[in-house]
Each structure stands twice: as structure tokens, then as C-alpha cells.
Structure 1
């Protein structure tokens, strides 16, 4: 039987979590699934767990050192045999029906990428306490076809947003190959979003379903930990992507990214101001505010969001 979906699992120091992730992929109601685990230079027992799971549907690869999730994913994609590629972070897991449901939508909508909502689970617990779309204050109620501008605006910093860029897409392999698209190995932390916006700039049909079939574990020490570092990365990556000719060739997308970059810089200044004020470095806080005047209206808007909620602030 041919492989319909290749599930790629980059793994780095996730010994306590990896078995559940792989087991959830093996337990899909969609039967034609293979799993490709790439150990990215782990220093714990991750590789041993991966090797214990090897079998007819699970292949394991080793990186030479810690090269990052993008490199690990790319290695898996090159080895994948499926018509579709699905991402699963090694500390997360799938609901049993996830791939079957997303595949059905992909075929119905002639989609190139499909994402769903994500249950968010605290480390050490199995019960979700919210979903990604619920945190926006304006959760989806029906399927969406997302254009490039809507995608960029969904990832706004500092306010409740749907954050499509954090979704774990089911991707049509033929589209990635036709446009020579892979994960950017210079990028860590927002590698999904970067790949998606590049796909959209090349005409990908991007579909979002309101249901949550993905379980995302929120834990300390993950790659997204450290707010200021994460926002600095966000600024750098947006500036990098904005310079690409394929992005500039879509004027509405380029303008949305310029707005996104400006807001990310304001968010970074705001967080630096707060950090300085909390540490008693008031001179530094004043210098941050003076050097980035947009930080004040950004802070006011963020406060308003907290007080009245995103549903009362229009585009927020």
C-alpha cells in the first residue's frame, strides 16, 4: 500500500515525551501513514526511545550534532514517501482522527496546506486548558480559506490573535517540490510561519478548520521559551522574509509584512521597557521609550486589549 501521509518528528532531548507522540501518529484512523523521527543530537535517552519504536511504519534518523528543527524536518521530508507531509513536534500528540479529518478537507478544498486549532496542555497534565483559537477571543466557527494578508495579520504580536503561523500543517508534497520549498535552516522558533508565508506567496491554497485535533504541550525549556528572545527572533525573521523577491512581487503581502515588522519592533521595545522598569533601571526604560516612540501607543493598545478583550477592539 502506498503511503498517503508522512509524519515528520524532529526530536531533541524529549525522552519523556517521544513515545506518546509516535504512538499517536501510529494510532491514526487513516491507515496509510509512515513516521520519520529525526534525533537532532540529543544528549538524553531520546535516540534509544526512537530506536525502540522502529518498525515497518517508523524510520529513525540521526543528525550529526544539534542542527535545529528546520534541518531535522528537511532531512525527514527528503526521505518521506507520502503524498502529504504532516509535522508533529516530539513533545506533542495527535487526536486519532486528525489526519483523516485534515485529508478529507484537503481533498474537498483542493488545498495545499491545511491546519487545525490546537489544544494547549500544561506539562504534566493530559487535559487541555484552552485552544490556540480560543485565546484569540474570537475563535473560528467555520472553515476558512486564508489569503497571504490574512495569514500575516493573524500572527500579530502582543494581542489576542489566531496565530495561523503556529499551526502544524498538513502539506501537499508536490507543491513543496514544485516550488523548491523547505524549512529555512537559519530560522529557529518560527520556522513553520516562514515556510507557510513563502508557500502563500507562491499561490498555495491554505485552509483552516476550526476544530482542534492537535495537542500542544506547553513546557518550560522549549524553543519558544524566553519572551524577549522570541520577539527578537520574530523581528529578524520578518525583516529577512520581507526582502525576498517573491514576497515583494505580491504588494499586499509585502505591505502586511511591513506593518507586522513595525508592530513586532514596537512589541520588542515594550517588553524591553517593562524589563528595565521591573529591574529598577528607569533611565534605561526612558531611553527605550525615547528611542521608539511607537512603544507608548502599543502599550496603551495592549492595556486596552487586557481590559476589554480582543472582541471589543475590532481587528484585534
Structure 2
């Protein structure tokens, strides 16, 4: 059984070699590596070239279009039955592939979800994500929509594609939405919440996530995060008709809350005025389309998306 590892690369010269070396160190050797260089301007291309003497490594370069497009292009080139998306500044445990292949020997299993451990680089230790799915040491089989809802209820929900590996067949009808951040949330939702695939949930940590200054998630501006979450939520609302387990509405509620909090944070800094009126009206369209499942206070939405109005009222009272 062949694994295709898709590796988007963009200006990661300080981390790339150790990441690719963790693939070379795998005890299971039947794989291909598809490196998509997203227009790097550092020494990443020359570092990638060092690995091309190994015929399993393939290198492609594209104009800078973002991680989503790089992943989508890499997926199109994948020839393995199993596909894994790997970030070029992180690490893998050397027995990861062999453990996954063992689980995939059960033909009913369409995807494997697993844990990750976090390590800090460059002092970026204020961002403290958790990637642990369950406290027990056992591996369990679930229906994907059932586990989606369960993980939300247990507070162990996360959507990173580096923390699951899947058969190519179940991924083919989906793409990573381009030109936004938080695109992982919609991709994960469409694959797992809107389907009833048999999935294996493992309690082991096979992935080592590097948290560093300058990465996408530690450097993104508020407006980009708001735009990304908004596009994700729009996609979820459109996909909702395919979701049988209504408990997964919790994830849409949580994302809408994130948007509201981001707007509120901007308003606290008196900087929400940068948000165009069209964007604010868009969030209100989302609110009214989602109000049937999202218990968010109307006044909080007003304060978060139209802080200018409240600032104006407050100033008038003061005068």
C-alpha cells in the first residue's frame, strides 16, 4: 500500500531539512513525497533539490498562491492509495507510516485520526494549541459524523490535516478553499461531518507540531482571520443539508463566536473601523442564516460588528 505525502513549502529554510529527514527515517518505505514549492524566495528550493536523488521525492514549483492551492496541486499529483498532508516545518515519529498501514489493513477504515505533540520554537509560546483526541490508550472505530459530534462534546475537536491520514478516494470530491486561512476547518467538516466513513481514532502522537514566530497561525492579522472564518462558515451552512447529526451545529456556533470575538477585540482597540461595511453586512447574513442553531446574543453581534455606532452614542452621552 503506497502513501503519498503532500508537502507545501514556502520560505522554511531553517526547518525544511529536519522535516524531510523525518520522512526519510520512516520504518515503512513504500511512499512518495510530493513537494509543492509555493514560490519560495529563500534557499528552500536548493534544499529540496538535495532530496531528489531519492526517486520517491518529487519537486514542483508554482507561483505564490498560498498553502491551500499548494495542497490541492499536490493532491492532484498523488498516485498513492493513502494521502497525507504534512507541513514543512514539523516532524513525524519514525513509526508513523507503519502504524497507519497496519490500521488500513482493515479495508473498512477510510481514515485514521491521531494525536500530535507541540513544541515551541522562537519563543512563540503564547499560542498553546492542544492536539489530543482522547485520554484512553485504545484505538476505536467510529462513524466519522458520530466522532465529529463526540469530539465537540468532549472538547477535543481540531481540524488540522496533519493529524489525520485518509484514503485518497474519500478526499477526491473536496478541495482546500484557496486564498483564506482557517480553510482546514471547512475541509475537515466536509469530509467527516457530512459523511459516515468508518474511521480509526488512535490515541498515539505521531505528529510533532512546531509552534514558531512567523508561521501562518501566529502572524495572521485580525481581518484575515475574520475573512477566513466567514468563508468557512458560509461553506458549512451550504453543506449543512448533508449533515445528519445535528450536534455538529456546535462547530458552526463556535466559529461564529470566534468571528464575533475577533470583531469585539478589534472594537476594543478602536480598530474595527478598518472592517468594510460589506464585510459587516456579510456577517449579519451569516447570523440570520445560522440563528436557528447558534445562540448568540443580538446585542453582542451589534457591538462586535458595528462598534462605531456604540462609540458614537457613548461620545454623545459624555458630551
**Residues 30/232 of structure 1: CA separation in 2 closer, same or farther (3 Å cut):** same
Q: Which runs of 5+ in 2 are unaligned?
A: 272-296, 305-319
Give the count of matched residue pairs: 273
The aligned counterpart of 1:148 is 145
Is the partner of 2:217 in helix, strand or coil? Answer: coil
Q: Deviations over 1:72-112 (max 9, x none)?
A: 12222222221211111001111100111122122237311
1:4-153 aligned at under 5 Å gives the runs 4-55=2-53, 56-63=55-62, 65-108=63-106, 110-124=108-122, 132-134=130-132, 139-144=135-140, 145=142, 147-148=144-145, 150-151=147-148
Q: Could you list the runs of 5+ residues in structure 1 that have no partner in the other structure? A: 282-287, 296-316
User: Is residue 2:241 matched to residue 1:241?
Assistant: no
**2 CA distance for matches of 1:294 and 1:96?**
50
Select 1:196's aligned residue among 169, 188, 193.
Answer: 188
- 2:207 is matched with 214
C-alpha separation between the residues in 2 aligned to 1:166 and 1:26? 22
What SS does structure 1 have at the residue aligned with 2:105?
helix
TM-score norm. by structure 2 comes to 0.73
Structure showing greater Rg: 2
Displacement of 1:146 after TM fit? Answer: 5.1
Contact 1:153 1:260 in 2 (8 A): no
Q: Report deviation, 1:191.
A: 3.4
RMSD: 3.4
Decide whether aligned partners of structure 1 residues 206 and 19 sit closer, same or farther in structure 2, where only a CA change above 3 A counts. same
